[in-house]
Structure 1
Amino acid sequence: MKRILLFIMTNILVMAMVSIILNVFNVQPYLTSSGLNTQSLLIFCLIWGSVGSFISLMMSKFMAKRAMGVEIVDGNPQFSELVSTVHHLAKKAGLTKMPEVGVYQSPEINAFATGPSRNNSLVAVSTGLLNRMNKDEVEGVLAHEIAHVANGDMITMALVQGVVNAFVMFFSRLVAFAIDNAMRDENGRGGLGMFARMGVTIVLDIVFGIAAAPLVAWFSRWREFRADAGGAQLAGRHKMVAALQGLQRTIDVVDPELDAGNDNFAALKISSPKSIAFLFSTHPPLEKRISALQQGNF
């Protein structure tokens, strides 16, 4: 129920913001009596694709806390060492405002960083990670997450996803219009009809979205290598390697209840299980990440 309410709230905000922006910029309908206005279509798709992505970014901390059950532990003496380590690494990375530090209940060995900006971020770790990793490994994981924050990876990911969303929408509507046109006779009669055209557009959105997913996944994998390099600079290469080796030993330990339905947070975490479809994986294989760090290939 919590996830459904978050989904509904996000979509209401997206629709409201899109409506306001379309009115402010006086964007005209892209389907007119004289045909398809590609300029209006492109602006429409850019607004829809970007606004949805950035509203998700702005709500990312709130959604992560609710969906993952993150408890903020700043000021909690039980987690004082965790908080002080995050703050130390954040200052070393040049952050002027310290991230919130949170813990979520899960046997999985993982952590993630999220938030709309460098000065408004959250670093959260699982109880499984705290219980099964030693001090150096934990510091390496935290350094990786702080590197994500310092690099502005949440913002760049939103930008990439927004642009991809826009072009997926643009080409699906362009192709749907072409199919509709091809089915009309010389007098302009026939065609798909409104509901069939909507159905074709939705199918094309899905097909083009799947086709574009490897591009977003590639960017996500690239930023993981960059965050590993940043983590090595902050905590030391040996601690970053130790953290990845620790994850490698425990990668198959997951919490099915928390993992199900939380795919939106997969790209935010430090690792993910091996995927058969590597092109769609948000994380490179741990062995490649370890090798890159050991060889200094970053």
Structure 2
Amino acid sequence: MKRVVLFLATNLAVIVVLSIVLNILMAVFGIDFGSYQGLLVFAALFGFGGAFISLFMSKWMAKRSTGAQVITQPRNDAERWLVATVERQAKQAGIKMPEVAIYDSPEPNAFATGPGKNDSLVAVSTGLLRSMTKDEVEAVLAHEVSHVANGDMVTLTLIQGVVNTFVIFLARVVAGLINSALRGNQQGGHHGGGGFAYFGLVILFEILFGALASLIVFYFSRQREYRADAGAAKLVGANKMIAALQRLSQGRESQLDDRMLAFGIKGKLAKGELMMTHPPLEKRIQALREGRF
């Protein structure tokens, strides 16, 4: 229930903020959203705006969706070791010390998120701490620190913003042309006369183009996992990272919700690699063994 409330609250906040910006653009700059140029501005506003608002809210969302507790004052040796390890790795990677958190989950997993290299969060599950050796946990932490150092959160947000923009734009253009043809409207235009048929077509094409665009996002998501594995290998050694991935392969697929899935160290299985946010663990292990870092 909490995840549903957070999802609705986030999307409501995005809509409210972008609607205000949209009205300001119309009033101040007199942008005609009935033209193709205006439609592209509209698409970019909602495409990039939604992606960046989600990015800036990512730490807040992650803490609340997983129940992650940030370690402000370590209470035991395990927490002191976690904080000290992330601090050391952050210095090696040349980034500001991330917040370090633990969340309660039986599955071994970890994630990194945040709006930038100097404002990030690294969190590990209790299941990971219980099931892995210190060397393996160190490698997982190095993987997450590498995500932050590589700027992966911002990169994926930019990619998501681009594909969102084109999905929104193309769906309305194609829907308008089809609706105009069906109604015999010779003027055309992306509105296509409006009406329920037009908006129905927009929804249909947004679903279709969105599914195709997801393949692009999934591809870049998989590539960033290889880069983070390579970064971890440089920080702690390839053998430790291989051992950590082998340990992860013994557990079940990720139980993180869809909004957090791409940020976890392991993802969910899918029918075909094209639909996966993470490469298969055996491929990641092979890449490390072959020295592709």
Aligned to 1:194: 195
What SS is found at the alignment partner of 1:112?
A: strand
CA distance in 2, matches of 1:71, 1:129: 15
Aligned to 1:34: none
What SS is found at the alignment partner of 1:113?
A: strand
CA distance in 1, matches of 2:261, 2:115: 17
Runs of 4 or more off by more than 6 Å in structure 1?
186-189
Instruction: Indicate how the Cα distance of structure 1 residues 134 and 27 shifts in structure 2: closer, same or farther if over 3 A, else same.
Output: farther
CA distance in 2, matches of 1:89, 1:27: 50
C-alpha deviations, 1:181-222, integer Å up to 9, x for none?
101236779x77512211211111111101111110000000
Could you tell me which amino acid in structure 1 is paired with residue 63 of structure 2? K
Contact 1:224 1:284 in 2 (8 A): yes
CA distance in 2, matches of 1:162, 1:193: 26
What's the CA shift for 1:28? 2.8
CA distance in 1, matches of 2:202, 2:285: 43
Aligned to 1:30: 33
CA distance in 1, matches of 2:23, 2:194: 27
- In structure 2, stretches of 5+ residues that fail to align are none
Aligned to 2:111: 112
CA distance in 2, matches of 1:254, 1:278: 15
| 1:114-193 map, 5 Å | 114-185=113-184, 193=194
CA distance in 2, matches of 1:27, 1:172: 24
What SS is found at the alignment partner of 2:250?
A: helix
Aligned to 2:71: 73
Aligned to 1:8: 8
What's the CA shift for 1:71? 1.0
Instruction: Indicate how the Cα distance of structure 1 residues 244 and 61 shifts in structure 2: closer, same or farther if over 3 A, else same.
Output: same
Contact 1:18 1:47 in 2 (8 A): yes
CA distance in 1, matches of 2:105, 2:123: 12
Could you tell me which amino acid in structure 2 is paired with residue 83 of structure 1? V
C-alpha deviations, 1:8-30, integer Å up to 9, x for none?
33223222332343344436343
Instruction: Indicate how the Cα distance of structure 1 residues 199 and 276 shifts in structure 2: closer, same or farther if over 3 A, else same.
Output: same
C-alpha deviations, 1:80-102, integer Å up to 9, x for none?
1111111111111111x211111
Aligned to 2:57: 59
How many residues align structurally?
Answer: 285
Aligned to 1:278: 273
What SS is found at the alignment partner of 2:64?
A: helix
Taking structure 2 as the reference length, the TM-score comes to: 0.92
What's the CA shift for 1:275? 1.9
What's the CA shift for 1:175? 0.7
CA distance in 2, matches of 1:103, 1:188: 59
1:103 matched to 2:98: no
Identity of aligned residues (%): 52
CA distance in 1, matches of 2:158, 2:185: 43
Aligned to 2:40: 42
What's the CA shift for 1:266? 0.7
Contact 1:50 1:165 in 2 (8 A): yes
Contact 1:27 1:44 in 2 (8 A): no
What SS is found at the alignment partner of 1:14?
A: helix
1:267 matched to 2:270: no
* RMSD of aligned residue pairs (Cα, Å): 1.9
What SS is found at the alignment partner of 2:292?
A: coil
CA distance in 2, matches of 1:158, 1:236: 29
CA distance in 2, matches of 1:242, 1:51: 40
CA distance in 2, matches of 1:249, 1:14: 39
Contact 1:113 1:149 in 2 (8 A): yes
